[in-house]
A and B are shown apart, each in its own frame.
Chain A
Amino acid sequence: MAFVVRKRREPLPWWGSCLVFLGAVAVALAVGGALLSFQGKPAWRGMGILLGSPVGSVWALEDCVLKAIPLFLCALGVGLSFRMAVWNIGAEGQFALGAVGATGVALTWGATLPAWVLLPLMAIAAMVAGGLWAMIAAALRVWCGANETIVTLMLNYIGILVLEFLVFGPWKDPASFGFPMTAEFAPAALVPALPGTRIHWGVVLCLVVGVLLSWVLRASRAGFEIAVCGQNPAAARYARIPYAAWVAVVLVAGGALAGLAGFLEVSAALGRLQPSIMTGYGYTAIVVAWLSGLRSGSVAVVALFLAALRVGLESLQLDLQVPAAFGTMVEGTMLLMVLVGGFWTRYQIVRRQA
């Protein structure tokens, strides 16, 4: 009896992707648990902490939402370019530049401008800084044909070093006892929390951006042209759709979104710029974007889920002294397993007809 691989006429609908996602999570957790017990740590207890602690208290739930905000914004930006098979993996660096841009505004005008002018100004500065950072990759891709994957990744390293240069040098707070950090922001430069919670107004911003972006992608001419460019660049060029321009647009827009996330993180979560702001949201965002199947609604769900894993990981670090790299490993395994599972949604294995 022989079997052959055959392409499905229609890829499996949403439930197929859901099953693949759950399967990938299960495999990743199993691998994680096996590694924990390999290091002589209680695997079942570890998994309990990882999954239980994020939903164990209101405080932890708030943490999940707070961490999901930057993940959501970065993943929207990354996913936007993935739709066009443009591989922007530079959210980490764009996030850093966004934080730098917002900090520049906060340190310059923090004492003089009122919050309702200052905060929008910080947001714009962050988006411009993140967007310009991505523009480097866009320009090199469009004019030189330079591979945007490598350029955006290199810009991650450089962007983080720019941030470090500033907080170790010109922006260092003289009163910080030598620690690399800027002075605390003025109260007007802090994004306030929603009444009665620790969650800041950035979550509302996410909602607005998410709805707006999914409308643009679904119902506007721009969304249509991006979709055509992504599915068939040759057809797009034939239809006089400016392919190169859209490449630049999705890269720069992704940079602006990651920059916005950097602004929210530095202003709402930390209140000052310091190297610890870089916790790899930009890399996790790649996982979020692909796991969500590039649908805006699912991005929110997956961002919340991976944020919860990060919260769980923090407890795991405290309780069982598990290194932070454990989370990276689990995320990578999930992504790889989703890729493997994607085979099943697109292909089927059938018995060869005699």
Chain B
Amino acid sequence: MTAEMLLPVLAAAVQAGTPIFYATVGEILMERAGILNLGVEGAMLLGALAGFWMSMATGSPWLGLAAAAGAGAAACLLHGVVCTYALANQVVSGLALTILATGLANFLGTPYVGLAAPGFDPMPIPGLREIPVLGPVLFSQDVLVYFSYALPVAATVGLSRTRWGLRLRAAGESPTACRAAGLSVARLRLGACLVGGMLIGVGGAYLSLAFTHLWTNGVTAGRGWIAVALVIFAFWRPGRAMVGAYLFGGVMAFQLRLQAAGTAVPSSLLLMLPYVLTIVVLAVSSRWGRFFGAPAALGINPEPSE
């Protein structure tokens, strides 16, 4: 394969990986605070619809982006409230959110299927785009991709160098100690749901505003679940999540290109690739990851204190 053929695939890999990347970082924030959110798929889809709808109604993709962040945050906050205040099983609540939100998004979205909305187009960065290889792959993308480059640094610094980040992690590692220090576990966890949910919603909006400018029901197609798996692959670290997301983006882009090239392999087999890869990646990283454990209180609701 020559460089001229490889570069577009790599660029497409970054693009296809970006929505998964946003969602993975959002999920990492929530899980670091102790909230296991299996509702990513639903929250992402709701974000995708809200972003599309707002952009179509106002003509501004930026307002669409804000709406998507709001919708994602609202969905994840709902899950957060059900877990922290109603002390519900986090696994089942997350599943309920996915069922509810996919149903809601596909119900509300049905009238818009096939319609287009203004979105984000590629904006190559002058100067940087001239760099060989990196220019076309990393710096000829749309603005949401450029934002995402800042995410690993921002999230890592936020989690390990700021007061809020340290407290948030305390809520995920030891809610009892957190409470003993006079902090509100519920408030910290809901804060993580708010910020994480916004990122997850933006990940969804990437699909309906940048990846395509169209609405399709079920546009997320399992990307939210891939994000949940990638959190484990990333050992709950935002930087590693970037690698994983681009890996998946690569497989998706490759698979689309093969289909477009009219290969003899049936499309149903090609479509399996990302899902099979998820299972493989999950199995391998779970085996290694026993040494880089999950947050100690992940999925556990502290009992109310007297």
Binding site for B on A (CB under 8 A): 4-7, 35, 39, 87, 89, 136, 140, 143-147, 149-151, 153-155, 157-158, 161-162, 164-165, 168-169, 283, 286-287, 290, 322-323, 325-333, 335-336, 339-340, 342-343, 346-347
Contacts and interface: CB of A to CB of B under 8 A. Distances in A.
Given A150-B229, A154-B225, A323 B82 contact: no
Given A157-B275, A339-B89, A347-B87, A323 B266 contact: no
A35 B104 CA distance: 9
B102 interface: yes
Contacts of B303: 7
B190 to A, nearest CB: 16
Nearest to B81: A340
7 contacts: A146-B286, A150-B229, A150-B232, A332-B98, A335-B95, A339-B88, A339-B89
Q: Which of A7, A35, A157, A162 has the most CB of B within 10 A?
A: A157
Indicate the size class of the contact surface on chain B: 35 or more
A161 B283 CA distance: 21
Given A4-B304, A149-B91, A151-B283, 18 more contacts: A35-B107, A146-B287, A150-B225, A154-B222, A158-B272, A161-B269, A286-B99, A323-B107, A326-B107, A328-B106, A329-B103, A332-B97, A335-B95, A335-B96, A340-B82, A346-B87, A347-B87, A347-B304
A332 B38 CA distance: 13
B228 interface: yes
Given A155-B279, A335-B99, A325 B217 contact: yes
B268 interface: yes
Contact of B268 (A39, A144, A164, A328): A164
Contacts of B225: 150, 153-154
A155 B284 CA distance: 17
B304 A290 contact: no
Given A154-B279, A165-B268, A333 B100 contact: yes
Contact of B222 (A157, A283, A326): A157
A161 B275 CA distance: 10
Nearest to A328: B103
Contacts of A144: 283-284, 286-287
Contacts of B272: 157-158, 161-162
Task: Give the interface SS of chain B, mostly helix, strand, loop or mixed.
Answer: helix
Contacts of B229: 147, 150, 154
A335 B286 contact: no
A181 B289 CA distance: 43
Given A332-B96, A343-B87, A5 B278 contact: no
B121 to A, nearest CB: 30
B91 A332 contact: no
Contacts of B163: none
Contact of A147 (B88, B93, B99, B282): B282
B131 interface: no
A290 B92 contact: yes
A153 B225 CA distance: 8
A151 B279 contact: yes
A325 B287 contact: no
Contacts of B97: 332, 336
A342 B96 CA distance: 14
A165 B266 contact: yes
A286 B95 contact: yes
A335 B103 contact: no
Contacts of B278: 150, 154
A326 B103 contact: yes
Contact of A161 (B232, B268, B284): B268
Of all A-B residue pairs in the complex, the 10 with the closest CB atoms, nearest first, are A332-B100, A328-B103, A329-B103, A325-B106, A332-B99, A339-B88, A5-B304, A335-B96, A165-B268, A343-B86
Nearest to B225: A153
